[in-house]
A = this chain, B = another copy of it.
Amino acid sequence: MRTRSPSSSIVKSQSKALLHARLREHGLKLTHQRELIAELFLRQDHITVEDLYREVAKKDPSIGIITVYRTLKLLCQWELAQERHFGKGKTIYDNVAQKAHHDHLICTHCARIIEFENFQIEKFQEQVARDHEFHITFHKLELYGLCKACRRDDVRPSRRSEHA
């Protein structure tokens, strides 16, 4: 992980300004729903619609999950978010507002997601593409397995079940 999310109050003011700017650019309206959803989304790294909806509902239970879907779609269009499909489950939205391209290590035991980038891998990807006269526009590299914490747990099988 290269970038760390800045402190909550900075995120809050920055994300509000960012959101307002993007909305104006596109002739869209600033609603309190969009404001809250974007603020909570931009405060974290990776989240599902369901989980973000739950967070949103804590602050304003009148907001519908469908508005969460729609707001995340907007954030994707503006490249503040990116859809990810790890495993076969629900879509995970990656907060890429302060991040460059990166790939992921995904723990199949506790669902932790670790970000990384490796330029050597990317160079060999280009080599593979050249060999096949292929032109890469984007790529996904996902490494699944056990994170540091879950590897430790593995030697104590009794603790396995306390993980998601």
B-contacting residues of A (Cβ < 8 Å)?
83, 85, 88, 91, 105, 107-108, 114, 116, 118, 120-121, 124-125, 127-129, 131-148, 151
Contact = CB atoms under 8 A, between A and B. Distances in A.
A148 B136 CA distance: 11
Copies of this chain in the oligomer: 2
A88 B73 CA distance: 14
A140 B139 contact: no
A146 B140 contact: no
A139 B114 CA distance: 14
5 contacts: A116-B131, A121-B124, A135-B146, A138-B145, A139-B144
Given A129-B145, A134-B145, 9 more contacts: A83-B88, A88-B91, A105-B136, A120-B120, A121-B124, A132-B148, A135-B151, A137-B146, A141-B142
A128 B151 contact: no
B108 A132 contact: no
Contact of A144 (B105, B121, B133, B137): B137
